[in-house]
Structure 1
Amino acid sequence: MQVQTVENCDDAAIYFPLMNGRYEVKPGMLPFGSDLGNSRADKQVFQIDNNYHNYRQTKLLARRERLGKYYQTCNYSKAVAGAIARLIIERLVQEHPQHFEWQQTANTRKLHSYLTQETLYLNSDWELLQVSTPNSSVFPNYVSTFDALATQIQEDLTVICRRADGSNWLSAVHLCYPNHWSAEKKIGRDFAAIHAPVAGMEKINRRSDAIVNTMITRKPTVRFAWGLSTDACLNHHPEPPPHISPNQWQGRAFDLQSPKLYLRIERQVIWGLPEWETALFTIRTYFRDCSLIKQDSVLCSKLYNALESMTVESLVYKGLIESRDSILQWLIIHS
């Protein structure tokens, strides 16, 4: 299903991470909370807007299709899982007290969402005990606190952990909005292996241990990634659901005669928990309508130049090798 673009969602955060007019592959980490023009939203790990229920529905559809396709864990210890659950809940209650209520007594911990009307009951180790819900739209039932929390928000979640010898691995991932990558294929792999297919990542991957150390030990950061899509569908898993053709599913077939194009932007927040040798990595996806970007001469020229600067390898990786020239032609045609 398609979601609204930020232009059609009156309270959505709006970003444009290519103002330098170049396509670059770099860490690009900014201090979390940096003012990027969205006031309070820039200070939130979890952004909630009027598009919430469409995002939620996408997650429910993905889970119903096959949970293991979108949610995986590997050596995800009880201690780390508890620390991550606590972090997520603390941020949700702090950032959105109108949407989430936390109650804790000697014997009970429970989080209530006014958005979904679900109440999550947890034990003292932050493990999911039961869920109270007014409807049965969630199938299969939540299998963990991480699964339940991920389905309350508009972000995807990943967790990276580090061993005593310095090696790292992806220990948990809840990825219902994948941009052509698979949770099943990435789980358990280290940072360098996860990013090996990304064109232009060679230099960064040579410093992967240092980057993971920064993720875990330094103050929280935010970074952005972007690409282009011919639809506003959040879920672009490499494997289409049953009964949907790959061409229809991929969202990368630009038609100059009937142009539809969206800038797909990811806001990624990295929050380290050094005590647990782990970091939470959130991915919030937004779409901007390129027909509107095209009407802004400054933004249009930045997008045009960034596309023009992409290497062949990057074009292949981003699925633009066949359509880039047509997109450039469309961008300079006056509406």
Structure 2
Amino acid sequence: MHARGVTAPARYFPVEPTPLRMQAGLIRFGTDLGNGARDRLFFQIDDERPRYLAAKRASPPSRHVIAGEDAIAQRARDAALAWMRDTLATEAPDVLREADADRDARDPLEAIARAVQEDLAVLEHGGGEGRAVALDVRFPSGWRPELLAGASFSRIHAPVPGFAKDDRVSRSMVASMIGRGPYVRFVWTLSADDALDHHPDAGLRRGWDDAARAWLRVERQITVPLEGASVFLIRTYLYDVATLDEAQRDVVREALRVMPEELRDYKKLPTLETFDHVIGR
């Protein structure tokens, strides 16, 4: 089944021409979002896989963090590893075999992470807060995932403008995002480069002042509930804005026009005027 996934990356366009609000935006996993059977795959494989795996291996080892030596944390990691192995055995057995043959990985979770195009996190939520007990995030969009190992769901999302600040709301969101499902949600931004790794220390993120092109950066985020734990998958897609049709570019322009200033600053988005200049409008 591995070979059947080797094709161009799936296409997602989650941009809406309305003021962006940071919210759960959960969609039942498996919903056809225009990619047919691929929307029913947790791990998507496409012809850009070599680039993704090379970029993962080029990132520093600190991007893979195991947090918590207690029994609860270990049970969560064991459950997550078992689910990922079972899922890959069905969706992409060749990838699982590659992971099993990886002698450079420091542990089985890292071996899986080094073989798939998705980033991943494992959370245990026995206390209701969703503590991160394993993180392998090689392609962050401007944040430092290695500093959040062991953090609660609320702390991980604390810097995001407009995200749930009330503890009761946060706990309800945890229940939805990591306690039910599986669900898929999408997050988007724009970038002036096609680098997958936008970690602040990587130095690969380009500013908009001298940008010549623009990319729509989309994250497909999947939450999978397990017994006392959950798996969080993040797949990053980069679409050259030049490949969007005119209607889609108009939606992006409207989204930029009505973007709240605090979110524009947080996401480091261009102004509408800058975006139009870059795309030659």
Normalised to the residue count of structure 2, the TM-score between the two structures is 0.89
Distance 1:199 1:217 in 2: 24
CA distance in 1, matches of 2:121, 2:231: 6
For residue 35 of structure 1, give the secondary structure of its aligned residue in structure 2. coil
Which amino acid is 1:88 matched to? M
Secondary structure of the residue aligned to 2:97 is strand
Are 2:137 and 1:175 aligned? yes
Question: Structure 1: how far apart are the matches of 2:236 and 2:165?
Answer: 26
Q: Distance in 2 between matches of 1:309 and 1:206?
A: 29
Deviations 1:117-152 (A, max 9, x none): x534xxxxxxxxxx46xxxxxxxx211111111000
Give the equivalent residue in structure 2 for 1:263.
216
Task: Give 2:183's aligned amino acid.
Answer: T
RMSD of the alignment, in Å? 2.2
Q: Look at both structures and tell me which one has the larger radius of gyration over its CA atoms.
A: 1
The percent identity for this pair of structures is 31
Query: Structure 1-normalised TM-score?
Result: 0.76
Give 1:21 shift: 4.4
Counterparts in 2 of 1:4-43, with a 5 A limit? 10-43=7-40
Letter aligned with residue 268 of structure 1: Q
- Counterpart of 2:122 (choices 153, 159, 164) is 159
- SS for the counterpart of 1:210 is helix
User: Unpaired segments of 5 or more residues in structure 1?
Assistant: 1-8, 101-110, 121-130, 133-140, 241-245
SS at match of 2:55: helix
| Matching residue of 1:238 | 200
Pair 88,204 (structure 1): closer, same or farther in 2 beyond 3 Å: farther
Q: Is the 8 A contact 2:123 2:134 kept in 1?
A: yes
Gaps in structure 2 of 5+ consecutive residues: 1-5
Distance 2:178 2:192 in 1: 36
Residue aligning to 1:145: 108
Q: Distance in 2 between matches of 1:189 and 1:49?
A: 32
Q: Which residue of 2 aligns with 1:326?
A: 273
Cα distance in 2, alignment partners of residues 331 and 313 from structure 1: 22
2:234 — aligned with what?
Answer: 283
Q: CA deviation at 1:311?
A: 1.2
Partners of 1:51 and 1:259 in 2: how far apart? 23
CA–CA separation in structure 2 for the residues paired with 1:332 and 1:78: 49
Q: 1:238 to 1:95 in 2, by over 3 A?
A: same
**Residues 79-90 of structure 1 aligned to structure 2 (within 5 Å):** 79-90=75-86
CA contact (8 A) 1:18 1:303 kept: yes
Partner of 1:304: 253
Q: Distance in 2 between matches of 1:269 and 1:173?
A: 15
- Counterpart pick for 2:149 among 183, 187, 196: 187
Q: How many residues align?
A: 273
CA contact (8 A) 2:221 2:235 kept: yes
**Letter in structure 2 aligned against 1:184:** E
Partner of 2:206: 251
